[in-house]
A and B are shown apart, each in its own frame.
Chain A
Amino acid sequence: SQQGEEDPQALSIQEGENATMNCSYKTSINNLQWYRQNSGRGLVHLILIRSNEREKHSGRLRVTLDTSKKSSSLLITASRAADTASYFCAGGTSYGKLTFGQGTILTVHP
């Protein structure tokens, strides 16, 4: 079963705009991770936030985690056409199991 749901399912923006994707999860987690997948390729790890953290930054990425609401968000600032991809959130357990959501398809128009 999937961990949760991502919102929106698809997002279309112009280059330079910010992109925000939300994720909700169902069970208790040790960490929450975000991955990116280009069409026909494997997943690439973007960022990991632990359950005792509320916010984390990495370059143009900002992730927040609200464990009381079982939700997370990924913000990509100043989007580029090369950011076009599918983005997945995944809840991680303490023993390493990772359960993915359904993903958000992001399209950034030049």
Chain B
Amino acid sequence: EAGVAQSPRYKIIEKRQSVAFWCNPISGHATLYWYQQILGQGPKLLIQFQNNGVVDDSQLPKDRFSAERLKGVDSTLKIQPAKLEDSAVYLCASSGPRGSNYGYTFGSGTRLTVV
């Protein structure tokens, strides 16, 4: 089966600019996640969707970050305006039915550099 697709692979922007990332999860996976991974750290959950509804966005900086998952499939994550500390890899993941032993499937991520 195809994996989780993310684009772009790399992005360099200036601070105060806006940027958007796109994710296409594995077909049939109802749950989609966006994680932020700062260099040298573990991934931090930004938002979790179940179909097109938000399950957890407690760590999403809502003054500048937004995310949507239209029709319960693809998702976009937007940052506006970007700050230097937003430089990180943004990882999208999806998961299948609860109770499965297969964990999450992650995309390759988008590496964002804010200068």
Contacts and interface: CB of A to CB of B under 8 A. Distances in A.
Nearest to B31: A96
> Interface residues of A toward B: which range?
20 to 34
Contact of A98 (B45, B101, B105, B111): B45
Contact of A100 (B44, B50, B101): B44
Interface of B: 4, 31, 33, 35, 41-45, 48, 50, 55-56, 91, 93, 95, 98, 101-109, 111
B113 to A, nearest CB: 13
A36 to B, nearest CB: 11
Interface of A: 2, 33, 35, 40-45, 48, 88, 90, 94-103
Contacts, number: 60
Given A2-B41, A45-B102, A103-B41, 6 more contacts: A2-B44, A96-B95, A97-B55, A100-B42, A100-B44, A102-B42
B55 A2 contact: no
* 7 A-B pairs with least C-beta separation: A45-B103, A100-B42, A42-B106, A43-B106, A42-B108, A100-B43, A102-B42
Contacts of B31: 96
B102 A96 contact: no
Nearest to A40: B111
A45 B56 contact: no
B91 A43 contact: yes
Contacts of A41: 108-109
Contacts of B55: 95-97
A97 B103 contact: no
11 contacts: A33-B103, A48-B101, A96-B31, A96-B95, A97-B55, A97-B56, A98-B45, A98-B104, A100-B35, A102-B41, A103-B42
Contacts of A100: 35, 42-44
